[in-house]
Structure 1
Amino acid sequence: MFLQRTAFALARRTPTRAIAARPFSSSVSRFNKKYEVKQEGKILPFEEIKTEDDLIPPGAKSGTVPVDIEHATGLERLELVGKMQGIDIFDMRPLDASRKGTLEDPIIVPGAGDEQYAGCTGYPADSHQVVWLTVSRDRPIERCGECGNVVKLNYVGPLEDPHDHDHGHEHGHPPHEEPKTFADYVKPDYWYR
């Protein structure tokens, strides 16, 4: 309690001119000069984007608030530039819901990554709540537990993945193992291929 009173007494005795010796406006201008980034860029058409450097935004003009296309980078910028030209680069169309997928004729799910998620709402469409199915390069076929609809991954990505986890053991990491599920304990006679 004594220390608390002493701190308040010292605070009352501190001259206010010493605290406000430098105006706030000069602090802001010094800050801006120190961290000013000058980068010139332009919005390239989708066809001219070749490298990641082409996805660096021009930024907003001084004194304005940037819109999405002026500050978005990477995949977000690629998507926005594509949409400006009417190209849906992520192919966000819904999956085929006109039929029920079977093991012989599954619903095809395109994917460029190691894993893809597909939402099943049943057949006919919206006959049950969304059940999320996970298909991967290692396990390309998955069946909905609610309605029996079958989906299959159609991998459209690069043939050699730089992030391939199977080669991790060369660098001292153990190889990736899929977690065990009830499907691992089903007799091989009942497996679907």
Structure 2
Amino acid sequence: MFLQRTAFALARRTPVRAIATRPFSTSVIRSNKPKYTVEKEGKILPFEEINTEEDLIPPGAKSGTVPTDIEHATGLERLELIGKMQGIDIFDMKPLDSSRKGTLENPIIVNGAGDEQYAGCTGFPVDSHTVNWLTVSRERPIERCGECGNVVKLNYIGPLDDPHAHDHGHGHGHPPHEEPKTFADYVKPEYWYR
């Protein structure tokens, strides 16, 4: 009983003007226009027709449904899924040739579109040692495994007009990258591989 009287007394003391300073109808804005528009409703572009990043924006799922992977994936993930749907392996995920040991004359080829690529060597025959990660780059395209002697070589398949190809970091305010010195830098030149 006491609580009811206290609540009633508090409600009576509250100024009415503070509660209703503006009518409710002006607080709500109604709009039937959708917030986001989808240009290509429900259409998945074929891999050959993808030209810009805007082509990798999905149409989204229909209202009230749960989107599938292809309906909400964007960017590189969407490009990979579209490629897989057409049987194209975008990132070349098949394993390297392990039927032979790479030599300086006949190295194992590693395709890469970036400035550097990593290749895991498990030895020859396969799995004869733990994985050694080898780094091949555009400046240093050949690398040899320190444990088994397997040789890998970078085959650059990236764009020919790459702005970093001739820049080497000079134009962006960054100091040029210097390769750290290793024991290979002190080997006589006649023993170098080229």
TM-score by length of 1: 0.76
Asked whether the 8 Å contact 1:167–1:175 carries over to 2, the reply is yes
What do the CA deviations read for 1:88-119 (whole angstroms, capped 9, x no partner)?
12221111111100111111111111111111
Cα 1:88/1:122, change in 2 over 3 Å: same
Higher-Rg structure is: 2
SS at match of 1:169: coil
Query: Distance between the aligned counterparts of 1:91 and 1:170, measured in 2?
Result: 31
RMSD: 2.8
The AA in structure 2 aligned to 1:74 is: G
Query: Distance between the aligned counterparts of 1:171 and 1:131, measured in 2?
Result: 33
Q: Sequence identity of aligned pairs in percent?
A: 82
Cα 1:137/1:67, change in 2 over 3 Å: same
SS at match of 2:179: coil
Aligned counterpart, 1:26: none
4+ residue segments displaced more than 6 Å: none
Query: Distance between the aligned counterparts of 1:171 and 1:88, measured in 2?
Result: 33
The AA in structure 1 aligned to 2:61 is: A
The AA in structure 2 aligned to 1:134 is: T
Query: Distance between the aligned counterparts of 1:64 and 1:89, measured in 2?
Result: 29
Residue 138 of structure 2 is aligned to residue 128 of structure 1: no
How many residues align? The count is: 167
The AA in structure 2 aligned to 1:127 is: S
Residue 167 of structure 2 is aligned to residue 166 of structure 1: yes
The AA in structure 2 aligned to 1:40 is: E
Q: How far did residue 165 of structure 1 move? A: 7.2
Return 5+ residue gaps in structure 2 as ranges: 1-9, 12-18, 20-27
The AA in structure 1 aligned to 2:162 is: D
Return 5+ residue gaps in structure 1 as ranges: 1-13, 16-20, 22-28
Whose helix proportion is higher, 1 or 2? 1
Query: Distance between the aligned counterparts of 1:47 and 1:67, measured in 2?
Result: 22
TM-score by length of 2: 0.75
The within-5 A match list for 1:15-164 is 36-41=35-40, 42-164=43-165
